[in-house]
Chains A and B, each alone.
Chain A
Amino acid sequence: MAVGIVVVSHSPALARAVVDLALEMTPAGGPPVAIAAGGPGGVTGTDAMAVSEAIGRVGSPDGVLVLMDLGSAVLSAEMALEFLDDPDVPVRLTSAPFVEGLLAAVVTAAGGASLDAVEREARGALAPKATHLGTHDEPAEPAAPAPAATVTRDLTLINPVGMHARPAAMLVSALGGLDAAVTVANLRTGRPAATLSGTTALLTLDGRLGDTLRFGASGPDADEALTRIADLVGRGFDEMDLTAAAPAAAPAPEEAVPGDVHPAAHAGGPTAPGGGAPLGVSPGRGVGTVVHMPDPVTEPAPGPAVPDDQRAAEADRIDRSASAVADELRGRASRVDAEAKAILEANALIAEDRGVLDDARARVTGQGLAAAPAVWQAFTAIAEMFAAAGGVIAGRVADVQDVRNRVVAHLQGLPAPGVPVRTEPFVLVARDLAPADTALLDPAVCRALVTSEGGPTSHAAILARSLGLPAVVGAPAALDIPEGTLLLVDGGTGELVVDPSPELVAQVLAAPKAPEFDGDGVLADGTHVKLKANIGGTADAQRAAGAHAQGVGLFRTEFLFLDRGTPPTLDEQVAAYRGVLEAFPHDDVVIRTLDAGADKPLAFVGPQHEDNPALGVRGLRTSWRWPQVLADQLDAIAAAAAATGTRPWVMAPMVSTVAEAADFVALAKDRGIATAGVMVETPSAALLADDLLKVVDFISLGTNDLTQYTMAADRLSGELAALNDPWQPAVLRLLAQVGAAGRRAGVPVGVCGEAAGDPLLAVVLVGLGVTSLSMAPGLLGAVAAQLAALDRAACESAAHAALAAVDPAGARAAVRAALGL
């Protein structure tokens, strides 16, 4: 065992981020760390009971160190001590700084240090920063004087960045378990040797590239300690080698690969369905100056040879551009989550790789190539070598290409590829966006999105809706609007207004924004309707908790399974589910088991051709062919539930018969998962609702698929968009049947399709008997505000009005009339 660490914070997102940051320091395995963050329902706050449970999860006779952020975190942690009943677990609250202290505590605890030593390192963790900034006071508790070394060794730092946090952590970890006292001094600064009891001593050394450090050691394992240190220093802490710094999993490319887009889209390229009129796909109005998505970088022409006397200067441009790109990547790394950060930092190292840059320089000085083509060729050669190597290394090809494109763009004075970074409000105009691009959009400054291509189900449209960002697709003319022009976008009507009048702009800016959701979905008469979030992973879950969602109504687990050659291991799955459950420690989280098949094939079971995949082996049906995949997933969910002390619900997708539902529920219950249900996505399931409700604990209406199957209209087809409307009378009547069945049985009925996030339709759904609505977190505020204005009777009369209509437009109008809107 090791000393356990508990992190108490007002914010689950803050706690996860700081723990991720700390655990990066101990890639070989950190100490047990538990988080107690957020108040009830994921609100900002703390909960003493949760703190005491977290202490219980990581407690051992080695002790537990508790780090807190501020205010109630301290009070709750103190209170938690009163609830603890195991006298054999020493627990200590520390005033150590939250971020630096946690890093120091994790690294020191990972090395097997005592509670005293872990706390001392944590409390002293500000010293490196204070030394760096020149504000260092002598520590209140000076470390014990260094024992006389019996052996010493002088070692020179060869890694470019010198002694920073990661190498320090590697060194401390390497010494774990050895019986040796180690000291270290930097011969350049001449400061006295410090005892290496944690990372602090190393980080205050100011060890730079080329500095010689004198390590001394005494004790039985002194020689072994110095051998291990020499090995790490000699390897440059693995920072000399491109591939060693790579994350284990192949990251997704950050931008569209050249060739994915259609350069001819300006004139007559693919347009919106229905004849080319721009289509509003995400309601709301936004205004800002136009920023165009940069064109992808293509191979620069070799051009005429550079004259001999200019080659050295041309070659130097390469280093300057490469280092600017590395700086930019590191700057972005500081603003993203841990996973993206690791990728960006690894890419910065690629941009600084001496071997590749020297190769590029040689092509300039030797062959007279211009800098841009030289860089292109040098990086492309590396990319080809990586691709030929296969495996994990091949997974880095996209990263090498990304860095290459960035350096080339910088050399050519072009904007960096990818989503532009702006601090002022803007409207992004692009041909289309890849998922990786859209993930980088910041709704605080990007006020609207316009694409020349794409339809209502394009990535851009779905993401815009989830961010609550007004969006229009199928508007090729927008590509010709000059950068910097003021543009007003109406994502409801599809209207684009170039240079709008000041009055119009004022009107848009004055329009009330959807109020923030306060975490309590309630009708005017006090009836509670839980408003939850649809998510696809931990980052989503944290965003949803930040938006005060009352739980997760749909956790899509596909991301774990798609695009990979082997199924995810149990541990991988448990870790992924834990991340989500920890974001909602007090609320329901509904985990949907794998919804593969159809348009989401499972690569690891091999290609499975189906003529009609939407009607094929998908959803729960895949478990007929591969039962172990479902069994493993339920095992992992049960393990994650046990590890987090939460009680997630599980549900199966694409169920058609009562027997399927009963089998699924039995599988879940066999594993101790107490609450199991199914999605109602097929007309069959909707019509059988009364019978289904006898065997399940809850049902969740997937309105997107229910609409597509009821209307026999492919939801991916833009041409059939009018049919794929949940306001269609047949769909509403099926929803009514299911709602009524739920009421009769007293069983919760949720909706997790896009219908739940339409404020008007949400009213109808509640009137039909739905008890919870799950949606993109950005939509919670608008739906909550609409519901809060109405009582149950009003919702029911809206539902009656909708059911009496003969078409979607009539239904919407009737509901508006019934509500007096």
Chain B
Amino acid sequence: MAQDTVDLAALIAWLDSFRGYVTENRAYLTELDSAIGDADHGINMTRGMDAVFAKIKEAQDGGTPFATIDDLFKAVGMTMVTSVGGASGPLYGTFFLRMGRTAGTAETLDAAGLGAALRAGLDGVVARGKAEAGDKTMFDAMSPALDAYDAAVAGGADPAAAAQAASAAADAGRDATTPLVARKGRASYLGERSAGHLDPGATSTALLFQALAETLAA
């Protein structure tokens, strides 16, 4: 049953779903990365999300569950930073830290609030990675996803519908990375040879929005 607001439990369910996706696609993400990078994206993301869940479980079992969205995402972001290893660590870490900072002490977010948090996350990714459109990075999936999300909210969509639109746009953005020549990260050293492959970061970002859409629709 779709809701007008998103609470902590839903956000944790989103993260759990994302963890499921990266685990399921671990070999695929790593294979994508082996074509144009250092063949560790799936391994790194799985390790990072497993560590995130160990952290969440520790908080819940330890009797000190997260009280605010900032608490949750601060823990998620810091865990990603210290447990991923590759560039995705600081990038996804910054994404979640900025999301948390923007959501602040709220315990629930409406559609616009979630959009603002996601947008702040994207801004953080840009500040950290200095990526622009067409650089063949996670930005190429995330940026159209948030544009679609904002457009849907402006048209009166609830969070679930907006996330659905974001997920579709992220998929399209991900697919559009195939012909691009990488201009960031280790793939950029390959020059023209990086064209013809999906970008692994854009692929995991599309999974992030797919997880969000499915979680909120449930």
Contact = CB atoms under 8 A, between A and B. Distances in A.
A41 B44 CA distance: 11
Given A48-B90, A519-B43, 9 more contacts: A40-B84, A43-B40, A45-B44, A46-B89, A47-B85, A71-B185, A71-B186, A72-B88, A72-B90
Contact of A78 (B40, B128, B186): B128
Contacts of B38: 44
Contacts of A520: 43, 47
Interface in A46-99: 46-50, 70-72, 75-76, 78-79
A44 B89 CA distance: 13
12 contacts: A40-B47, A40-B85, A44-B38, A45-B40, A45-B84, A46-B89, A48-B89, A49-B81, A71-B185, A75-B129, A79-B81, A79-B128
A39 B85 CA distance: 4
B101 to A, nearest CB: 11
B91 A75 contact: yes
Interface string B154-170: 00000000000000000
Interface of B: 38, 40, 43-44, 47, 51, 78, 81-91, 93-94, 128-129, 185-186
Nearest to A47: B82
B50 to A, nearest CB: 9
A518 interface: yes
A518 B30 CA distance: 12
Nearest to B37: A71
Contact of B81 (A44, A48, A70): A48
Given A44-B38, A44-B40, A79-B128, A72 B87 contact: yes
A39 B47 CA distance: 11
A226 B87 CA distance: 49
A40 B44 CA distance: 9
A79 B93 CA distance: 9
Nearest to A43: B85
Interface in A295-336: none
A555 B83 CA distance: 25
A135 B92 CA distance: 40
B128 A45 contact: no
B89 A72 contact: yes
B40 A79 contact: no
A70 B189 CA distance: 11
The binding surface of chain A is classed by DSSP as loop
Contacts of A39: 44, 84-86, 89
A44 B38 CA distance: 9
A44 B85 contact: yes
Given A79-B94, A79-B128, A47 B87 contact: no
A49 B89 CA distance: 11
A551 to B, nearest CB: 15
Contacts of A47: 81-83, 85, 89
A45 B89 contact: yes
A48 B88 CA distance: 11
A73 B124 CA distance: 17
A79 B81 CA distance: 9
Nearest to B46: A520
Contacts of A48: 81-82, 89-90, 93
Interface string A28-44: 00000000001111011
B84 A75 contact: no
Nearest to A77: B90
Residue among B83, B85, B87, B93 with most chain A CB within 10 A: B85
Nearest to A70: B186
Contacts of B40: 43-45
A676 B82 CA distance: 27
Contacts of A45: 40, 44, 84-86, 89
Given A40-B83, A45-B85, A76 B90 contact: yes
Interface in A521-551: none
Contacts of A72: 85-90
A76 B186 contact: no
Contacts of A70: 186
Residue among A39, A46, A49, A70 with most chain B CB within 10 A: A39
A43 B41 CA distance: 12
A520 B27 CA distance: 14
A442 to B, nearest CB: 24
B171 to A, nearest CB: 26
A75 B95 CA distance: 13
Nearest to A46: B85
A396 B78 CA distance: 52
A491 B214 CA distance: 54
Nearest to A75: B90
A79 B89 CA distance: 10
Contacts of B87: 71-72, 75
Residue among A45, A46, A47 with most chain B CB within 10 A: A45
A38 to B, nearest CB: 8
A50 B83 CA distance: 11
Residue among A38, A43, A47, A76 with most chain B CB within 10 A: A76
**8 nearest A-B pairs in the assembled complex, by CB-CB distance:** A39-B85, A45-B85, A72-B87, A75-B90, A49-B82, A79-B90, A48-B81, A40-B83
A518 B90 CA distance: 22
Contacts of B81: 47-49, 76, 79
Contacts of B186: 70-71
A322 to B, nearest CB: 42
Contacts of B94: 79
A78 B90 contact: yes
A44 B84 CA distance: 10
Contacts of A40: 47, 51, 82-85
A95 to B, nearest CB: 13
Contacts of B83: 40, 47
Nearest to A48: B81
A38 B86 CA distance: 9
Interface in A447-506: none
Interface string A335-372: 00000000000000000000000000000000000000
A520 B51 CA distance: 13
A393 B44 CA distance: 51
A712 to B, nearest CB: 46
Residue among B51, B83, B86 with most chain A CB within 10 A: B86
Nearest to A42: B85
A780 B129 CA distance: 35
B97 to A, nearest CB: 9
A37 to B, nearest CB: 11
A720 B84 CA distance: 49
A549 to B, nearest CB: 15
Contacts of B90: 48, 72, 75-76, 78-79
Contacts of B43: 43, 518-520
A453 B44 CA distance: 47
A72 B129 CA distance: 9
A519 B91 CA distance: 23
Nearest to A73: B87
Residue among A40, A43, A75 with most chain B CB within 10 A: A75
Contacts of B51: 40
A784 to B, nearest CB: 13
A437 B78 CA distance: 47
Contacts of B93: 48, 79
Residue among A46, A47, A71, A519 with most chain B CB within 10 A: A71
A78 B129 CA distance: 10
A38 B87 CA distance: 12
B121 to A, nearest CB: 14
A39 B51 CA distance: 13
Residue among B78, B88, B128 with most chain A CB within 10 A: B128
A105 B25 CA distance: 43
Nearest to B39: A44
Residue among B88, B89, B91, B129 with most chain A CB within 10 A: B89
B103 to A, nearest CB: 18
Contact of B89 (A41, A76, A519): A76
A50 B81 CA distance: 10
A273 to B, nearest CB: 45
